[in-house]
Structure 1
């Protein structure tokens, strides 16, 4: 397991190196950052002098080497707009995004597991057909349309839930704040979390249903039935455990994907997270902030996938034996 972890860490470092190159190389195509830093009255000569001072006229390799040298020390650049370290700006917004992803993941787990298992156990029931029909609809509808519809229906027409913002927050530890512990914060979280979950929920329902249906036709499940074990024990102890192995793998990838999907959700609901910050950085051509965001999201992907691989090995003894023999 230790050897596997070291190998995964090396792969993660290679992935982060590639992400840093791609992220840094696209900044020249985003526009002129001086457009937001200086006014129209500044002469071209003054602009060139400022570019030289900021190192924007240096060759790409020189700029990238300087960036990597600073990045290895935890410095991903200075935000042009906020006049603060880009990493600090992103980390200040990260709790709101992770809070939204956590709430959406909780909704997905609580709904997809029982719904997927039920659809596998009773494939011909009317409720199964209804669930699968809604799952097809959920896959087809973009997340921003779901968000707009939920705002119109639950906020404008019914007036039940707020339509934007994060609500009241309370400090927890290390200066971090959360809205999960306040009633107003939870009311603000419901619609964004449901909208974000809507894009992944149908996928997990259909995945669990497919895997569960396959497991129910295996020999060991038939043997468990022949032994007279209770159906609940067969379904939720023996079958579900093996069903969840591929679901965990897919889930790890989708958690990282949800972090990227928060861009749309946070924009519609004005949720003060990393995704909303990223769009503002694009509009302002705040290239250090854009590059830092892409690297942070890439790091989240790498860390989550590494943890999922380790969890998969802990759950599945066959994987551990296979790795030990390598």
Structure 2
């Protein structure tokens, strides 16, 4: 419990620091947020009126106090461009980002666990010598390049899947639940998930391979061989099961990091998620919306790090000591 409370307090402090940095960062960066609101023919008096509407005419310290007080109450303000509550705009695209990230991580880690165990089982073979460089190459390749490659093959070449968006233009659904579980939505989701999974699979493959090689040198594996158990049984029931434990915490960390790193993928596939919203908000100097998107991404990242810490302490009680 003491370890849990320490980590919880640490998480809150980190979130406060991130929120503060975001506040000052957006107000010190170049660009005038009133440009998106004003017609070029507006006078300076009209511009000052718009500034007062959004509270931008107040001293920076007063703006900061109001900003932190609103965050404590769960209010992120109004979008400068869309004139809608930021919370509603963020929550509208959050499921898209979460489903993209979760789907890609499941594909990457299931494949990584199986393929990594297979490489460890065939260590030193020609297949392993070819596979490891390929895995490293996909991990090092830029995300936008992987996205363009996937688009050129499966969208433009074979015409199997849509090239962008989350639904066919003009499609309407009775509820958000029906939209997400529609065949059209799932078809649009395939290529972004595939691209992100290709990019992410390098870590679980290499981690599982390394863990398997260590576990296969343990005494209990030697004892299993001495008992005459089949090699397949030793690999699957003994070595692989123990080697999977570090992948659990890696999955939690990877989830948080992927949510923050989806900007490129969402931009390439025009996927309506937090990353794309963030790019548009920054480009238009929409401070509240950009801060809300940034803070949502940072919150997921910090919370998943917190979950990973708890998993580590649960798997290895010495960590919590």
Normalising by structure 1, we get a TM-score of 0.90
Correspondence for 1:320: 317
Question: 2:7 maps to which residue?
Answer: 8
Q: Deviations over 1:174-231 (max 9, x none)?
A: x543656333222211111011112211122112111211221223322332233443
| CA shift in 2, pair 1:30/1:255, >3 Å | farther
Residues 1:161 and 1:76: Cα distance change in structure 2 (over 3 Å):
same
Paired position in structure 1 for 2:147? 147
How far off its partner does 1:233 sit? 3.7
Deviations 1:265-299 (A, max 9, x none): 11111111111111111121111011111111111
Aligned residues: 318
C-alpha change, 1:282 and 1:271, in structure 2 (3 Å) is same
Structure 1 position 321, deviation (Å): 5.6
* Closer/same/farther in 2, CA of residues 30 and 220 from structure 1, 3 Å limit: farther
> Contact 2:274–2:297 (CA<8 Å) still a contact in 1?
no
Q: Is the 8 A contact 1:155 1:161 kept in 2?
A: yes
Compared with structure 1, are the counterparts of its residues 180 and 121 closer, same or farther at alpha carbon in structure 2 (3 Å cutoff)? farther
| Corresponding residue for residue 19 of structure 1 | 18
State the Cα distance separating 1:68 from its structure 2 match: 0.8
Contact 2:32/2:285 (<8 A) preserved: yes
Measured in 2, the distance between the counterparts of 1:255 and 1:152 equals: 27
Supply the distance in 2 between the matched residues of 1:110 and 1:321 (Cα, whole angstroms).
28
- Aligned partners of 2:260, 2:272: CA distance in 1, in Å? 14
Match of 1:109 in 2: 109
8 Å CA contact 1:95–1:176 kept in 2: the answer is no
Q: Could you say which residue in structure 2 is the equivalent of 1:183?
A: 183
Please, which moves more after superposition, 163-172 or 84-93?
Answer: 163-172
- For the aligned residues, what is the CA RMSD? 2.2
| 1:229-244 matched pairs, under 5 angstroms | 229-244=229-244
8 Å contact kept, 1:263–1:274: yes
Q: Is the 8 A contact 1:148 1:268 kept in 2?
A: yes
Distance change in 2, residues 1:171/1:46 (3 Å): closer
Q: Distance in 2 between matches of 1:167 and 1:217?
A: 50
* 5+ long unaligned stretches in structure 2: none
